[in-house]
């Protein structure tokens, strides 16, 4: 039974790695000011890797290792988020194109690129047997919308291209001319290990607006949390706090009340956050890292099953 549990758990670990990256739904980022966003991007970009020569093909065990450090990688390099409804892509934008970034989310190609300007290029690894942030990229519908955020604003793009090209077609990385509309470009490997084919989706810039003005559903998909609650919630909290204050005969200042509201909001935000992977899921992914060859795993499973059958038959003959 223990052997079956190990085999089943490892298979489930592979299943988790092959799922599209929907782990972003468990992460929440506060809506920030543009000045804050720019400072954080500059700081993270200064430490990030933008050397395409350092990108290497990855195997299942490396992919599993990156997933076990999902939160740490996102916290260290996260500068935004992306949501593509037509292909159900929902992932984090990470500064730089290190291997670990491309296994966890989508990495930026240039340090100077900014949403809504030029060619905003995003890259991701594709696990050989399927998986990764852009697994469903080929399912993206032309003319559909792409939503991206830098945690200050939301940027909308309309899909104009979805195709498989050779990696030699470097013009897809080129910046548009001054008079041309800004674009966004998504790229991932297409095919087996060391493939020269790339799946590419491009979209043209449509509009941008403050993240605080996005509807609640879009905020949720992008993992955005308003620092200030809507006015009705604030009024209700202040009223509740005021009634408690009167009953306790303790008159507090408006400043203290507002701090209580802010603290209450922070607690609510923390409650909304969940573990990206449960303890059991982490265990299953860890098994993938240790039993990194699926074919070896299947062979071992068949051998174990045959041995079990032989043992059962021997006992029955006795």
Residue-wise pLDDT for 149-196, tens only, equals 999 999 999 999 999 999 888 889 999 998 999 999 999 988 777 788
pLDDT digits (tens, 9 = 90+) for 221-280: 999 998 654 434 434 443 444 444 444 434 344 444 344 444 434 333 333 355 666 676
Find the length of the chain.
318
Look at 108-112, 199-203, 226-230 and tell me which has the smallest mean pLDDT. Answer: 226-230
pTM beyond 0.75: the answer is: no
Catalytic residue among 69, 189, 256, 311: 189
Please confirm, yes or no, whether 311 is among the known catalytic residues.
Answer: no
- Which three-class secondary structure state does DSSP give residue 148? strand
Q: Look up tokens 């929902």; give the residue.
A: 90
Name which residue leads in pLDDT, 302 or 213. 213
CA gap 14, 5 in Å, rounded: 14
pLDDT at 313: 76
DSSP assignment letter at 113: -
CA distances from 4 to 9, 300, 308 (A): 8, 11, 11
Please confirm, yes or no, whether 256 is among the known catalytic residues.
Answer: no
Q: Look up tokens 């430490």; give the residue.
A: 47
CA distances from 200 to 188, 189, 209 (A): 7, 9, 26
Catalytic residue among 59, 69, 125, 291: 125
CA gap 305, 283 in Å, rounded: 23
pLDDT digits (tens, 9 = 90+) for 23-72: 656 788 999 999 999 999 999 999 999 999 888 887 777 887 888 888 89
What is the fold of 21-62+76-225? Sortase; Chain: A; (2.40.260)
Output helix, strand, coil percentages for the chain, rounded to the nearest 5.
50, 20, 30
CA distances from 118 to 8, 140, 145, 148 (A): 47, 22, 18, 15
Residue 290: which H helix or E strand, with range?
helix 279-290
- Locate the domains of the chain by residue range: 21-62+76-225
- Which three-class secondary structure state does DSSP give residue 150? coil
DSSP assignment letter at 141: P
CA gap 271, 277 in Å, rounded: 16
């Amino acid at each position: 039974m223990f052997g079956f549990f190990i085999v089943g758990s490892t298979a489930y670990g592979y299943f988790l790695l092959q799922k599209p990256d929907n782990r972003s739904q468990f992460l929440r980022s506060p809506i920030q000011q543009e000045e804050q966003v720019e400072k954080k991007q500059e700081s993270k970009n200064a430490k990030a890797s933008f050397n395409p020569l350092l990108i290497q093909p990855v195997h299942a065990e490396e992919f599993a290792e990156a997933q076990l450090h999902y939160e740490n990688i996102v916290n260290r390099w996260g500068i935004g988020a992306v949501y593509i409804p037509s292909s159900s892509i929902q992932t984090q934008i990470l500064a730089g194109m290190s291997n670990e970034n491309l296994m966890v989310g989508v990495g930026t190609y240039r340090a100077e690129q900014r949403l809504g300007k030029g060619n905003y290029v995003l890259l991701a690894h594709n696990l050989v047997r399927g998986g990764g942030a852009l697994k469903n990229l080929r399912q993206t519908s032309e003319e559909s919308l792409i939503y991206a955020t830098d945690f200050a604003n939301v940027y909308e793009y309309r899909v104009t291209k979805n195709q498989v090209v050779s990696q030699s077609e470097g013009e897809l990385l080129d910046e548009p001319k001054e008079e041309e509309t800004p674009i966004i470009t998504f790229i991932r490997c297409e095919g087996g290990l060391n493939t020269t084919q790339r799946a590419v989706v491009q979209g043209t810039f449509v509009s941008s607006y403050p993240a605080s003005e996005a509807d609640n559903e879009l905020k949720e998909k992008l993992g955005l949390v308003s620092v200030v609650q809507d006015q009705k919630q604030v009024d209700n909290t202040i009223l509740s706090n005021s009634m408690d204050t009167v009953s306790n005969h303790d008159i507090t200042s408006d400043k203290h009340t507002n701090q209580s509201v802010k603290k209450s909001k922070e607690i609510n935000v923390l409650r909304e956050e969940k573990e990206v992977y449960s303890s059991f899921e982490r265990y299953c992914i860890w098994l993938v890292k240790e039993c990194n060859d699926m074919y070896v795993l299947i062979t071992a499973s068949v051998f174990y099953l045959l041995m079990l059958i032989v043992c059962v038959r021997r006992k029955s003959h006795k």
